[in-house]
Amino acid sequence: MEKATTNDNSVLNEVKLSRVYTIFTDPKFAVGIISAFRGDAGRTLEMNIADNRTLAADLRNAGFGYSWIDGAWIENEETDQERHVTEVSILVTADAKNQDKLFDMLVSGSTQYNQDAFVFQRAGKEEPVTLYDKSGNEILSFDKVRMDQLADNYSRLRSGGHAGRTFIFERLRSPVGYFGRLAGLKD
């Protein structure tokens, strides 16, 4: 995988699963996952591909590197239009000094392409991977990245020697101990 910085417009063409793990655990990187795909009626595969290419070009033109990944998502969750969809997503990285610019682009792209949410992790030690709505409001934070796992929502590498391997984000529940219960916390 080529390392992208905001100054060289390089594209993350071939990514290994170990590199994905490094990106999400290295405090030097901010990372996001976004897609322009929608499973709504009237949206064709060709329309989704064209929109995704435009979104990727906008990210590249802003100086961010990216790689294509496959994703699975539940669109319109907990509504009458809920449906499980698969889509091509974009894994995009930035250095710490450009993470706010990347976040703003993810919000803008999410709004423009009517996405339910996007994933973003700020650069920095022990920053959580967080799911945001299209307005940039936090929905859910994840404590852990797991490799080669499947869930309702997952991502899968599209190319390279690790093509087809998956990764997911997982929430861990920390049991409340004796002192936590004394403080009024519940398991």
Q: Kindly state whether residue 3 falls inside one of the protein's structural domains.
A: no
Asked if the structure places residue 187 within a domain, the reply is no
Total domains present in the chain = 1
Query: The tokens 């435009």 sit on which residue?
Result: 54
Residue 6 located in a structural domain: no
Q: Which domain holds residue 67?
A: 17-182
**Tell me, what DSSP letter sits at residue 158?**
-
Whole-model pTM over 0.85? no
Per-residue pLDDT of the chain (187 residues; tens, 9 = 90+): 333 333 333 333 444 556 667 777 788 989 999 999 987 778 898 999 999 999 999 999 999 989 888 776 667 777 888 777 778 889 999 999 999 999 999 999 999 999 988 999 999 888 888 889 999 999 888 766 554 443 444 455 566 665 665 554 444 344 444 444 444 545 4
The answer to whether residue 40 is domain-embedded is: yes
Q: Output the CA angle 163-166-169, nearest 5 degrees.
A: 150
Instruction: With respect to residue 9, please indicate whether it lies within any of the assigned structural domains.
Output: no
Pairing of strands 29-34, 154-157: unpaired
124 is written with which tokens? 């920095």
Residue closest to 53 by CA, chosen among 36, 30, 34 = 36
Residue 10 lies in a domain: no
Is residue 1 domain-resident?
no
Q: Which residues pair with 155 in a beta bridge?
A: 71, 167
Domain assignment present for 12: no
**CATH at 105:** 3.30.70.260
